[in-house]
Structure 1
Amino acid sequence: MLSCREVVINADQLLDGELSWRRRLAVKVHLLICHNCRRYLRQLQRLIVAIPHMHRRASDEEVSKVMSCIHSQGKSNS
């Protein structure tokens, strides 16, 4: 069984369809039982959809804040 940290690490590859079938299956099994990782993946999907609609480019500070939040969520869920 994958840890939450491993799911977070593999989330973007899952959404891009770049995981092997075994790894994809392992992530999906984890998602069946882990509410926090399902929520994380939903938030990541929504972020990916929202990014092209942003009116201005994010500053380096804004990007750092978002990335810090994402990484702290990944750490607290494992």
Structure 2
Amino acid sequence: MLSCKDLVMHSSDLLDGRLSFRRQLAVRTHLAICWKCRRFIRQLRMAQQVIRALPEDPIPNVDALAQNLAERQRGGG
């Protein structure tokens, strides 16, 4: 039987679909009985979805913003 610590160690591989059949069975068996680990995996999946939904360039025109900040620091803005 997998411990909670073991599940955490394999959680990334679980989400990425890189577990062997045997390990996947052990993880799913553990998740069937452990509500804390189910919640943990659910939170990881949610975080993964949020990260994937972020835009590739979260700060558009970062060079222009950096230049504007530099000008303000020099007293030019």
The two structures have a TM-score, normalised by structure 1, of 0.67
Deviations 1:4-61 (A, max 9, x none): 000011011011110000000000000000000000000000000001334648xxxx
Amino acid at match of 1:42: R
How many pairs are equivalent? 57
Uncovered stretches (5+) of structure 2, i.e. residues with no partner:
60-77
Q: Which runs of 5+ in 1 are unaligned?
A: 58-78
> Structure 2 length as normaliser, TM-score?
0.68
Q: Structure 1 segments of 4 or more deviating over 2 A? A: 52-57
Q: Does 1:15 find its partner at 2:15?
A: yes
Q: Which residue of 2 aligns with 1:26?
A: 26
Identity %: 47
Give the aligned partner of residue 44 of structure 2. 44
Which protein, 1 or 2, shows the higher relative CO under an 8 Å CA cutoff with sep ≥ 6?
1
